[in-house]
């Protein structure tokens, strides 16, 4: 799985913390070196990004698209999720919303269940700059950690990005994976072949993922 040398501090520590999104790490333990998984690249909705190991082929969720881990999981049964939703500039309703209004919409359209803790600011490096988003925990009976970000592309459209982790995933791992994914986000050249294919991602499924392939723990 994804955890090569990270300790097992779970999201329960985050839920009980008064600050969501602040790193809470246990000391790193020395372990025998293991082969590292190969990054996987995705081109979706005008952007490209990498996961630090095998995630699933892209799948439709709500009003967007997502990739999940484990790669054989379905949305709703995953440990980790990267979700993207396009907000076209020409949209008569969404295109006119402010960033604050749009963030509220994303929490509704891409979110899951009632809030456990208040919404807290969080930031990560994306698209070559540091973006501020919102972090929250939902579902009291089965807590889910979520981060939401909004980025404006050179085409004028905006994207909503959701990073999500289930309760059982160690917090140190969540931060490491989300930081790696966020830092890899780049905009594709508008109207290029890769850009056009990314806008019709369902026509270009990812290559099959070998069952049992996983991140090294």
Q: Per-residue pLDDT tens for 159-170? A: 999 999 998 999
In a domain, 205, yes or no: no
Q: Is the pLDDT of residue 98 over 70?
A: yes
* pLDDT tens-digit series, residues 55-65: 999 999 877 89
Q: Which residue has the higher pLDDT, 198 or 88?
A: 198
Instruction: Specify if 127 maps to a domain.
Output: yes
Q: Is 62 exposed, middle or buried (0-12, 13-18, 19+ CB in 10 A)?
A: middle
Give the range of the structural domain holding residue 81, as residue numbers without chain letter.
11-27+41-199
Yes or no: say if 86 and 159 are a contact pair by the CB < 8 Å rule. yes
Query: Please, which pLDDT band fits residue 90 given cuts at 50, 70 and 90?
Result: low
**Residue 13 pLDDT:** 40
Check residue 177 and give its pLDDT.
Answer: 96
58 in Cβ contact with 202 (< 8 Å): yes
Residue 34 lies in a domain: no
CA 58 to chain centroid: 12
Is 208 within a domain? no
Q: Is residue 206 part of a domain?
A: no
Residue 33 lies in a domain: no
- List pLDDT tens digits, range 127-148: 999 999 999 888 777 788 999 9
pTM as predicted: 0.75
- Report whether 173 contacts 115 (CB < 8 A): no
**Mean pLDDT in residue range 94-120:** 71
pLDDT over 60 at 174, yes or no: yes
Mean of per-residue pLDDT scores for the chain: 77
Find the CATH number of the domain harbouring 125. 3.40.1000.10
Number of structural domains (the chain) is 1
- Is residue 86 situated within a structural domain? yes
Asked whether the predicted pLDDT for residue 6 surpasses 70, the reply is: no
Residue 213 placed within a domain? no
């Amino acid at each position: 799985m994804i955890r090569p040398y990270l300790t097992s501090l779970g999201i329960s520590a985050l839920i009980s913390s008064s600050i969501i999104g602040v790193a809470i790490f246990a000391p790193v333990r020395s372990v025998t070196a293991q082969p590292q998984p190969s990054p996987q690249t995705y081109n979706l909705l005008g952007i490209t990004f990498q996961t630090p190991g095998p995630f699933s082929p892209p799948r439709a969720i709500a009003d967007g698209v997502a990739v999940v881990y484990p790669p054989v999981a379905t949305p709703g049964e995953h440990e980790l999720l990267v979700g993207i939703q396009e907000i076209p500039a020409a949209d008569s309703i969404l295109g006119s919303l402010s960033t604050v209004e749009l963030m509220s919409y994303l929490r509704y359209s891409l979110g899951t269940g009632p809030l456990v803790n208040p919404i807290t600011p969080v930031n990560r490096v994306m698209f070559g700059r540091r973006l501020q988003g919102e972090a929250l925990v939902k579902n009291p009976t089965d807590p889910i950690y979520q981060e939401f970000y909004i980025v404006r592309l050179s085409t004028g459209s905006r994207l909503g990005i959701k990073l999500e982790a289930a309760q059982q995933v160690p917090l140190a791992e969540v931060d490491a994976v989300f930081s790696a994914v966020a830092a890899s986000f780049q905009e594709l050249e508008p109207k290029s072949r890769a850009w056009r294919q990314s806008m019709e991602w369902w026509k270009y499924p990812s290559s099959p993922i070998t069952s049992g392939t996983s991140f090294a723990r």
